[in-house]
Structures are given as structure tokens and as C-alpha cells.
Amino acid sequence: MQNILITGCSSGIGLETALILKKNGIKVYASARKDKDVEMLKDLGFETFKIDVRNKDEIKYALETILKNDLKLDAVFNNAGFGQPGAVEDLSVKVLKKQFNTNFFGLHELTIQAMKIFRVQGYGKIIQHSSVLGIISLKFRGAYNASKYAIEGINDTLRQEVLGSQIYISTINTGPVTSKFRENALKKFNKNITVEGSFWEETYKKELKARLETTEDKAPFNLPASSVANTVLKIMNTKKPKPRYYVTTATHLLGFFKRILTTSLLDKLLNKI
């Protein structure tokens, strides 16, 4: 039986992936940041860990426990993350660091700890959850864009460093998928962005908040969370997984436009989204 550690399983993509993988005979170690979510996962029959990816000791404990239980680790799915909306000029360094601490540095901590295990046992899969916003950038999403672009850079490098081994790095670029992403992003916007007096004050009030208050299932090309879960399942069931998987039509379209359009034309197109 294969096993996998998944971060960010409290809801949405993480939870759906844990459920689908478990249903298909994969031993899932599901983790979440909050105690109440860990208890929910236990009630669903998962072996669980409390992991805030910013806490290296919690990651270390989880991996050591998995090795004691199973004597191996087949894969990790770095899924935990959130989006911090707001114009770049309204993002403080403190807020930007918070975005990176979870989306990038937390992902990297689990990656390097898992790599130590994979190097010793000679195999393993690291599945990194990036985004369509790791391929292209959209306005008012600068913090999230930057964190996902950083993931792309570290993944592109790591893939070269594991060439010739049985260790595989797969990046999933997800477009609009049903989850609590926008709901959580709205909370971050209200908490961390000063609207009054901003150059973008009217846009924030009329446009951005309205978008954030719209559920993902009303977004163009939206797919259910199972679309990502089934991609992770495909990776788990593939001997040599691909380095990159696009999920949603939006990702395929925007990835195509990034390859064929000039920077100026792409900027004009994206500014209309």
C-alpha cells in the first residue's frame, strides 16, 4: 500500500484529495493547522497530524511517526496555502512575509525534510500545489502571484537536481476550483489591506470585494475540487509522473497565451480579467 502526507486538509482541495485517495486504497496521513479540523479528519477515519507548515517541528514529528508506522514514505502533497488580495502598493512587507511563510517557506520546509527520507530510501514523489497564477499574473493578487512564482522556480531547480533518480517532482497548476479560497481571501483582505485613502479605494469597494464575495462555482471554467484530487491520484498511480499538470481550461488557455503573446499584449489581455 502506498502512503502519502497531505497538508491543508481542513476543507476544499486538501480534504477532497484525502477522501479520494483513501477510497482508492492509498494510506493517507491527513493534516490540518487547527485542532478542530484535526478532530474532524479523525472522525472521517484518517490518521492525522496537526501541522502548521510554518512549524518545522510539527512537520518533523509527522514524518518521523510515518516512518515508524510504515518504514517508508511514498509521497507528500504540499497543498496548504492561502491568498492575500490587494494591490502591490498596499501590501506591507509584513503582510507579504506572512504570505510567503505559508505558501513558500512552509512548502519548502516539508520538501527538504521529505527529500532527506527520499534520498535514503531511493525513491519518492513530491507533489507541489502551484496555481495558474504561478504561470501568469493578475492584478490585486501580487502577494499570491509572487509566492506561486517562487514555487515554480524552486520546483524547476529541484527537478534538475533529482534527474536520474527515482524521486519525482510534480507541479499542479490549478485554475478556478470550488473551495473556501475566496472566502478565506476576503478575510485576509479585510484584515490586512487599508482601503481608506488607497489609490485603489473605489476599485476595492466596487469591484474587488464583489469578486471575492462571489463563490468559486460561479467563476468561468470552474471545476470541483475532485479535479485536483484525481490529478493527485493519477500521479500516485503513475510510475514516472509528469513534471507538470494543468487543471482547468483556464490554466490551459492562459498557459497557451503566455507562450505565444508578447508581454505587452498579455498584460493588456490579463488586465481585462
Strands (E) located in 201-258: 244-247
Question: What is the pLDDT, as a whole number, of residue 206?
Answer: 87
Query: pLDDT per residue over 189-245, tens digit each?
Result: 999 999 999 999 999 998 877 878 776 666 677 899 999 999 999 999 999 999 999
Query: pLDDT per residue over 99-117, tens digit each?
Result: 999 999 999 999 999 999 9
Least confident of 71-80, 148-157, 203-212: 203-212
Pairing verdict, β 27-32 and 3-6: parallel
Q: Which CATH superfamily is domain 3-180+221-271 in?
A: NAD(P)-binding Rossmann-like Domain (3.40.50.720)
24, pLDDT greater than 70: yes
Q: Give, for 228, the enclosing helix (H) or strand (E).
A: helix 226-236
Domain ranges in the chain are 3-180+221-271
Give every CB contact of residue 23 below 8 A, 6+ residues apart in sequence.
Answer: none
Query: pLDDT per residue over 86-101, tens digit each?
Result: 999 999 999 999 999 9
Give every CB contact of residue 189 below 8 A, 6+ residues apart in sequence.
Answer: 84, 85, 86, 208, 209, 212
Catalytic positions: 144
Question: What is the pLDDT, as a whole number, of residue 216?
Answer: 62
Question: What is the pLDDT, as a whole number, of residue 182?
Answer: 87
Residue 231 CB coordination number (10 Å): 20
Give every CB contact of residue 33 below 8 A, 6+ residues apart in sequence.
Answer: 8, 10, 50, 51, 52, 53, 80
Pairing verdict, β 75-78 and 3-6: parallel
Is 170 within 8 Å of 245 (Cβ atoms)? yes
pTM for this predicted structure: 0.94
Burial grade of 122 (CB within 10 A; 0-12, 13-18, 19 or more):
exposed
